[in-house]
Structure 1
Amino acid sequence: MRYLQNIFRILLGAAMTFAGIGHLSFQREEFLAQVPRWLPTDPAFMDFVVLASGVVEISLGLALIFWIKQKAKVGIALAIFYILIYPGNISQYTNGIDAFGLDTDQKRLIRLFFQPVLILWALWSSGAFPYLKKLKSKKQS
């Protein structure tokens, strides 16, 4: 099981690193579509959000792959990051914004259901569930 978790942890870390690089370069315009419209819509601010989230994604992706001693904590941080960026996906759906091939309301709606999968993937592949269970039992002792 750990072998499979490690494979999925590394795959997720690589995907996050790749997505982060996309934020900073070839997919920068696409990622602007996911900046929630309830945030300031000043183009410079929106670009900052895209760039900053790209740096965070690269950092979390590389940490998930290489910072093995802290992988559970990194997995928790990544899960929290996925929760924090979820409003961007909701905004893309509610505002009907096309990006990443999500050019219909149905595709954008389906995309919303993948965020919980990513959260669970980050927690499971990093071993965060046993780590959190251990923390909880320590607090109760």
Structure 2
Amino acid sequence: METQPGTRLNRIASRRDFHFTVRALRGQSLRYVTITADHPAWTEHGGGIERTMISDSLMTVRVRQVTHNLQIRIGGVSPTANAVVDDATRRAWTHKGQLYLRVDRPQSVRLFTVAGALYREQSLPVGLTVTDRLPAGFYLVRFSDGHVEKVQVE
């Protein structure tokens, strides 16, 4: 979020209104923003602070007839959307009977059957490792960093 004028000390003549603009950064929304002052006479509900929403990402604010030193706080800036986050640190998947393992740092991996028996253990270099064909079934893949994934070999 950005404000204009910026977040610095602004001097306003007594009993004058102070105007500023709030602009959301990319991926943010001002829809649920709260504006508060450190003095009870200046609130949005009491009429001392007025906002005008221009869009979800832009608003103007008017602080009416400033007579005290005020600290204005802006909160409640929210993200505009959810996004799928790819955990690129490690991943396990199967295709045509083979197990594919991708890691971003060297680590070991243990492959367990669903009965809990250790089927295989191996060290992985950085990048992609493809295993030999595995018997059909479900497996638990435990990376040395503690992350566990379940895969199915068909």
Q: Same fold (TM over 0.5)?
A: no
Q: Which has the larger radius of gyration?
A: 2
TM-score (norm 2): 0.20
Instruction: Write 1 or 2 for the structure with the bigger share of strand.
Output: 2
